[in-house]
Structure 1
Amino acid sequence: MIAFGYITALSLSYFLLAPDFKGLSFTEYFIQSEAKPIFLTLGLLLPIGFIVMSKAVEYGGIVRTDAAQRLALFLQIIAAVILFGETLNNMRVGGVIVAFFALFCLLTKPTKSIENALKAVFALAAVWLIWGVTGILFKKIALMGGAFPTTLFVTFSIAAVLMFTYLLIKRTFWNASSLVGGIILGCLNFGNILFYIYAHQYFKENPTIVFATMDIGVICLGMIVGALVFKEKISKINMLGIVLGITAILLLRV
């Protein structure tokens, strides 16, 4: 489904965004572009991120996985200071500290198996790190202005090739439901990334507004879906983690 999703996202980026290779072929652009470090890293992290996220959901649950992904926000805030020259006031420093406590609470899950507990911690931590770096790289793509469609197209191309290669090596069974699910996933994934970039371009002087507004909504929605639809049990310490996570995001927005 993820593989077909990247084919869908790749097609949408080509037909809707009309990437311009500036007179170069795809191969020449791939070799000569200054954006090469960005699209190579993103093309690798996107498929790996989905695979790691599936493991995080399996061992840690959808609520904790969503929260771990969105708490990667404070990594992006640190990058905003170091890479993009933003000012980190006292409230945002407090938000980073609160985010650490929130992450600890969200990663805590009662289990009879120490092995499963360790798998959950490592998977959730990997989600946190991968999506933190991914968000930073998408911010850099947003700074490219009108040149971002080409970089996005190449990124989806790399991700698609890697995912299909991975599935072929595993000799995965292909079916129609995966194709349909992949088209839906690809549309949602493409729309999410596209509007995320547009939002960063519109609020280019205040990226924390984009980070915080999106993350608050996703954490709240993930909690509701996980509890009501998937019948996940949320402990008191996990609830505390969710509250601290939202608090941290609000502090980082100030």
Structure 2
Amino acid sequence: MYLLLSIAASTFIFIIFKLLGKYNINTLHAIVVNYFVACLLGIVLYDGKIVLAEIVASYWFYGALVLGFLFISIFNVMALTAQRNGLSVASVASKMSVILPVVFGIYVYDEGVGFQKLLGIFIALIAVYLTSLRAKSSVSLTKGIWLPIILFFGSGTIDTMVKYLETTYVPDNGIPIFSATIFLFAFIIGIGLLAFNRFIKPRLMPTSEITSGEKKQKSDWRVLLGGSALGIVNYMSIYYLLKALDHETLESSTLFTVNNVAIVMISTLLGLLVFKEKISKINWLGISLAIVSIVLVTLA
């Protein structure tokens, strides 16, 4: 049940990002609101006493700081990828990053490795590249694939750190406050980015040099609505993923792969049916290879 809830929440993240771009809502503002809401949820759902000194002294505290920076950075990359490259590209690029925690598990947790698993990792890298290619695009190849590549490695790093911290340092009842701390750091960093864009960026960059996309994005009540919805599903995705990882009957390699391939398939289907995204034969090949690679790694 935890795994199913995490899959559903993660899928809704992609949908909300797509809607933010469709209605020209300021993505960065919505992301900052999202982290504030997610932090509040973690505090409300924590059934223990919150002692600031104990949180700072926790072994996972500095890991949460790093994750907070990665969360807001990769969330921005995820939003840009969904809006510029398509929903399926963003989904595959982020969810194929399951390869990174699998490789990490080989060295840290002494998980088995063989030809089949290595083949799956190799096919995954090819799949991310093929899925990122867009037909009849005016953007050059190098500009077209850098977002999915950053998303791939960033998402993989987040999954790896979350698994390591949850396994090594986070107590059974500490998942809500651990999640809330991550989101709090992401919120603080987001406020810093907003301050930079508001007060410093205009002095460094003339108004004429600001892209038309930035000018068109709006900040109104819809930012609060979209950011709040994003915060709820974002918290649920990480909370239920941590709960699933904490479950003794599921191995992390199996959990991550099932989680990711389900999100890829559902997001791609929604991109086709809801947003009428056009997917070329090359993209379909990439998506097919993505599924094949995850199956290979899982069975290995």
Which TM-score applies when normalising by structure 2? 0.77
Report the residue type matching 1:187 in the other structure: I
* 1:243 corresponds to: 288
**Aligned equivalents of 1:118 and 1:20: distance in 2?**
50
Mapping for residues 141-160 of structure 1, pairs under 5 Å:
141-143=165-167, 144-146=170-172, 147-160=174-187
Alignment-derived partner of residue 7 in structure 1: 36
Q: Distance in 2 between matches of 1:65 and 1:19?
A: 37
Matches of 2:100 and 2:46 in 1, distance apart? 29
Mapping of residues 78-117 of structure 1, within 5 Å: 78-115=103-140, 117=141
User: What is the letter of the counterpart of residue 145 of structure 1?
Assistant: P
CA distance in 2, matches of 1:93, 1:56: 27
- Percent of residue pairs bearing the same amino acid type: 23
Count of aligned residue pairs for this structure pair: 249
How far 1:196 sits from its partner (Å)?
A: 0.4
> Contact 2:120–2:294 (CA<8 Å) still a contact in 1?
yes
Contact 1:79 1:136 in 2 (8 A): yes
2:34–2:228 contact (8 Å) kept in structure 1: yes
Q: Report the 3-state secondary structure (helix = DSSP H, G, I; strand = E; otherwise coil) of the residue aligned with 2:161.
A: helix
Q: Hey, what's the Cα distance between the residues in 1 that align with 2:114 and 2:249?
A: 18
Change in Cα spacing, 1:93 to 1:150, as seen in structure 2 (3 Å) is same
> Which segments of 5 or more consecutive residues in structure 1 lack a partner in the other structure?
none
Cα RMSD after superposing both structures: 2.1
| 1:223 matched to 2:247 | no
> Which one of the candidate residues 120, 126, 136 is aligned to 2:144?
120
- Superposed displacement of residue 7, structure 1: 1.1
Name the aligned partner's letter for residue 58 of structure 2: S
Pairing 1:214–2:259 present: yes
TM-score (norm 1): 0.90
Q: 2:65 aligns with which of 40, 47, 63?
A: 40
With over 3 angstroms needed to count, the CA separation of the structure-2 counterparts of 1:50 and 1:251, relative to structure 1, is same
Q: Is the 8 A contact 1:76 1:135 kept in 2?
A: yes
SS of aligned partner of 1:230: coil
Query: Which stretch has the larger CA shift, 50-59 or 131-140?
Result: 50-59
2:88 aligned partner, one-letter code: V
The aligned amino acid for 1:181 is G
Shift of 1:15: 1.0
Change (3 A) 1:19 1:153: farther
Within 2, Cα distance between the matches of 1:7 and 1:101? 37
The equivalent residue for 2:226 is: 181
Secondary structure in structure 1 of the residue aligned to 2:295? helix
Q: Report if the CA contact (8 A) 1:81-1:87 is conserved.
A: yes
Indicate the residue corresponding to 2:52 in structure 1.
Answer: 25
